[in-house]
Amino acid sequence: MRTDPCIATHTAEHPPLPVLSSQDIALLADTFKLLGDPSRLRILLQCLAQPVAVNDIAGALQLSQSLVSHHLRLLKAARLVIGERSARHVYYRVADNHVSHVLRDMAIHLTEEPTQD
């Protein structure tokens, strides 16, 4: 019996994917749609290295604070970022290693030299 070459072999480093329901797949698709907006993706990338305040994100990306706050609300609702209050500011960071790995792996993938098949 042949195996599908598109499905990775399960190893300790790459455990099998969980079984996803139709609802899970729709949620996953919505998450990728959310990341399809360049401003939201840039905001998420700003939150990778360390927690960042809204005004610092706005300044670094040359976006209005209200637009950054709107995007952060969407990213937070999708569980992609976490906000932590400190005095008068809320600092946002990537929610967990899963989100971080997806972003880093795709950035590395895009900057690698293409392989010849």
Q: Whose CA is closest to 102, among 19, 49, 35, 51? A: 35
Cα separation values, 73 from 10, 30, 32, 40, 52, Å:
36, 15, 16, 10, 14
Distant-in-sequence, close-in-space partners of 63: CB < 8 Å, separation ≥ 6:
39, 43, 57
Task: Check pLDDT > 50 for residue 114.
Answer: yes
Q: How far apart are CA 104 and CA 111, in angstroms?
A: 11
Per DSSP, the three-state class of 89 is strand
- pTM as predicted: 0.81
Task: Check pLDDT > 80 for residue 1.
Answer: no
Supply the pLDDT for residue 3: 45
Q: Which domains does the chain have, with CATH numbers?
A: 33-110 (1.10.10.10)
- Supply the mean pLDDT for the chain: 89
Q: How far apart are CA 23 and CA 33, in angstroms?
A: 15
Residues in the chain: 117
Residues 46-93: tens digit of each pLDDT:
999 999 999 999 999 999 999 999 999 999 999 999 999 998 999 999
Q: How far apart are CA 92 and CA 23, in angstroms?
A: 28
